[in-house]
Amino acid sequence: MLTPQHLQVNGRNYPWMKKPVVVVCVDGCEQEYINQAIQAGVTPFLKKMAAQGSVLTGDCVVPSFTNPNNLSIVTGVPPAVHGICGNYFLDREANQEVMMNDAKYLRAGTIFAAFSEAGAKVAVITAKDKLRSLLGHKMRGICFSAEKADQATLEDNGVDNLLELVGMPLPSVYSAELSEFVFAAGVKLLASQRPDIMYLSTTDYIQHKFAPGTPGANAFYAMMDHYLTQLDALGAVIGLTADHGMNAKTDSAGKPNVIYLQDVLDARVGVGKTRVILPITDPYVVHHGALGSYATVYLSEGVALPDVARKISALSGVEVVLTRAEAAARFELPEDRIGDLVVVSERLTVIGTSTTRHDLSELHLPLRSHGGISEQRVPLMFNRKLAPIPSDHRLRNFDVFYLAMQAAA
Amino acid sequence: MLTPQHLQVNGRNYPWMKKPVVVVCVDGCEQEYINQAIQAGVTPFLKKMAAQGSVLTGDCVVPSFTNPNNLSIVTGVPPAVHGICGNYFLDREANQEVMMNDAKYLRAGTIFAAFSEAGAKVAVITAKDKLRSLLGHKMRGICFSAEKADQATLEDNGVDNLLELVGMPLPSVYSAELSEFVFAAGVKLLASQRPDIMYLSTTDYIQHKFAPGTPGANAFYAMMDHYLTQLDALGAVIGLTADHGMNAKTDSAGKPNVIYLQDVLDARVGVGKTRVILPITDPYVVHHGALGSYATVYLSEGVALPDVARKISALSGVEVVLTRAEAAARFELPEDRIGDLVVVSERLTVIGTSTTRHDLSELHLPLRSHGGISEQRVPLMFNRKLAPIPSDHRLRNFDVFYLAMQAAA
């Protein structure tokens, strides 16, 4: 099959790669994790990337959550185009919170679908299963999650016998091993099947637990470094980025700084007048108690928006309150899937709904989370020198495939 | 001598203490240092403060530098009142940068001066000598720096033979021991002379070097915990705060993110049209290369302020640009000692003047610094339960003496 020299996906022109491209999305990878791991001397490959490759910083999508950013990375466009702006939005007619992890909510095709359609061999490996159906939408090739690696079949996932291939037992969904399985499978597949494009997307279980430079974090990055070394040795062009950063959300004794926004609005605006949606909410909340630094608020008819916005802005720990139109413009979000107001809290503060709806009993370590503008800066690292980037280009994490493919062309 | 029940200092009414009050200003103490040290299990006393005392968060003064904040802490008022808003300001008539570490620049009396005048025994111990003359202005009692502890005399410092008393050799000005000397001397003086008021102010040498939770940081906080335990055992009411927080200012490979603002303005506005002043500059720059997240800009006559402000605002990494009046209002600064514009950079970015004027060769570890709004949240911890604080009161680090004295009254 003749392959084209370039391929247009969502208005961007991707060069066809001559070497395998591996893009790694390290979930919750605040840049400081890498910096401190290098300092601790446990990640020689990441250190080498700075000297021999390219180290840049990019902005992720706000809300700085996993799904909107993974979808931006694999489509190359912001949520205004691909439609996924969180895990939940409010279906106003049904007055019901709707999960957005079904491919029917996706408004743009992925780089994987386009390239596999054009003949490229593609492999996509995610840690959690929640992302698999979105990432694998309409693509041919290999696509599975570490979480359900034992259930992968040739028919559904393009690969089977994964536990045997990888040589690891099925990891727990709450573990560092879930991410390690992603890397280990990536190395085995690159060696055995040599896909043209591979995407490895981890989970931030470790980053929610451990601060940069602490033993638990350094061990994770040392593990990652080990597998990156192998991917590099196999000749891959590697691009590494993150879906979002990660920050402590506590005071000096480790108590979380939480604005229970629904409680505040019920008391100050009236019960039933507003509905606070936390798009971080997902079925896996143990490690962050569904608390992030971003919320969207729907107002009942007749409620004065400027008044509510003012009341929220006055709360200590709130960074910015935007109207739907302002938020859609500033963060490139789909207007029909965000509320009347978007609220972003400061670096050390998270937003909850009501005290009774957050179970913090499973939070055995001081809360670390994300969602805000404070988690927008993420690493963009490559094991190749890149061509100079125009100084007026605002680098985004969703430039990673474009840049890696250019380096592999 | 009969002591009053209350004492007015700079418009605030301080209760006279019945127990010794020890206020500790931990230089550069981002809250996460304490949180991580507690997690690591190396600071049992700080952990106990959360359970048996009070843990709060306060805002420091912006610019989040050492001198403005130390002066606010010991006067109880913002720089608009006490006048010290950095280490340097520009004397416009002489067109010369003037150091502000002389007491003649101080516009308000200190709590120490007022209380010692009224009969209280006061002891002030700082790490670096640069603060000593400002903190000790017009006070009676003990006042010395660890840096020059060997030169302290009964006549000038209210105490002598310090190395013998403390049992430590004179520490290097760039060391953790400089701060340890402050604590060790504090314990010895509390035991031997039982001052009514003691102020211990450390240096952020360690915090500039080491991230929260890493071995170098944890060792420092363990040392501190050891001495706090002794101060507590001696019956002191302890209030702990910080002059400012501390953040990494680098990318994922540890390279500093620097805006060389004078170079930018020379190129885009014209040489000699603007003058960038970095009020972090001081004689001790080895650990931060005089790079912080705050600058002030003076414009030559005829230069269009809105145009310059717009050009600076457009730079990546700039958080906010304010006019003199806006900055003076928002940060409570003395208008006559700041420039025409105040520039604050984002959490991960610092501001320099010209590349040629910053020697980064002594920066052997990735840059960590402060100065911005991102370093404004600091701990306020007490070894006593405090009376409830009105919910509309914005807590400041310079409330620490007031709160500690209330707890000791």
Query: Domain-by-domain residue ranges, chain B?
Result: 6-246+371-408, 257-368
Q: Look up residue A196 and give its two tokens.
A: 């043209």
- A216 vs B313: CA distance, rounded Å: 39
CB within 8 Å: A347 and B348: no
Q: Look up residue B182 and give its two tokens.
A: 């402050």
Please report the ipTM that was assigned to this predicted complex.
Answer: 0.95
- A344 vs A359: CA distance, rounded Å: 22
Taking alpha carbons only, the member of B252, B225, B173 closest to residue B46 is B225
For A325-371, list the strands marked E by DSSP: 341-345, 349-352, 368-369
- The string of pLDDT tens digits covering residues A114-173 is 999 999 999 999 999 989 999 999 999 999 999 999 999 999 999 999 999 999 999 999
Q: Is A255 on the interface with B (CB under 8 A)?
A: yes
Contacts of A319 in chain B (CB under 8 A): none
- B322 vs B123: CA distance, rounded Å: 39
Surface of A (6-45) touching B: CB under 8 A? 29, 31-36, 38-40
- The string of pLDDT tens digits covering residues B223-271 is 999 999 999 999 999 999 999 999 999 999 999 999 999 999 999 999 9
Residue of B nearest to A252 (CA): B31
Q: Look up residue A94 and give its two tokens.
A: 């049904």
Contacts of A29 in chain B (CB under 8 A): 252
Of B34, B213, B377, the CB nearest to A211: B213
Q: Rounded mean pLDDT of B164-180?
A: 95
Do the Cβ atoms of A29 and A245 come closer than 8 Å?
A: yes
Q: Rounded mean pLDDT of B169-183?
A: 95
Helices (H) and strands (E) in chain B, counts: 15, 19
* A300 has a pLDDT exceeding 70: yes
Do the Cβ atoms of B386 and B407 come closer than 8 Å?
A: yes
Identical fold between B6-246+371-408 and B257-368:
no
Mean pLDDT of chain A: 95
Do the Cβ atoms of A22 and A198 come closer than 8 Å?
A: yes
Taking alpha carbons only, the member of B88, B51, B129, B1 closest to residue B280 is B88
The fold adopted by the segment(s) A257-369 is Gyrase A; domain 2 (3.30.1360)
Mean pLDDT of chain B: 95
Of A214, A379, A394, the CB nearest to B252: A379
In terms of pLDDT, which residue wins out, A49 or B363? Answer: A49
Do the Cβ atoms of A408 and A53 come closer than 8 Å?
A: no
Classify residue A297 as exposed, middle or buried by CB count within 10 Å of its CB (0-12, 13-18, 19+): buried
Distances (CA, A) of A311 to A293, A299, B116: 17, 13, 45
CB within 8 Å: B250 and A36: no
Q: CA of B396 to nearest chain A CA: how many angstroms apart?
A: 13
* A395 has a pLDDT exceeding 90: yes
Which range, of A188-192, A286-290, B94-98, averages the lowest pLDDT? A286-290
Task: pLDDT band for B283, please (50, 70, 90 cuts).
Answer: low
Give me the percent of chain A exceeding a pLDDT of 90: 88
Position A194 scores a pLDDT of 97
Of A46, A213, A379, the CB nearest to B214: A213
The fold adopted by the segment(s) B6-246+371-408 is Alkaline Phosphatase, subunit A (3.40.720)
Mutate to test the interface with B, among A32, A221, A252 (most CBs of B within 10 A): A252
CB within 8 Å: A252 and B36: no
**Going by CATH, does the domain composed of B257-368 fall within 3.20.20.70?**
no
Of A29, A55, A214, the CB nearest to B36: A214
Taking alpha carbons only, the member of B380, B120, B384 closest to residue B237 is B384
* B35 has a pLDDT exceeding 60: yes
Residue-wise burial string across B138-159, b where 16 or more C-beta atoms lie within 10 A, e elsewhere: ebbbbbbbbbbbeebeeeebbb
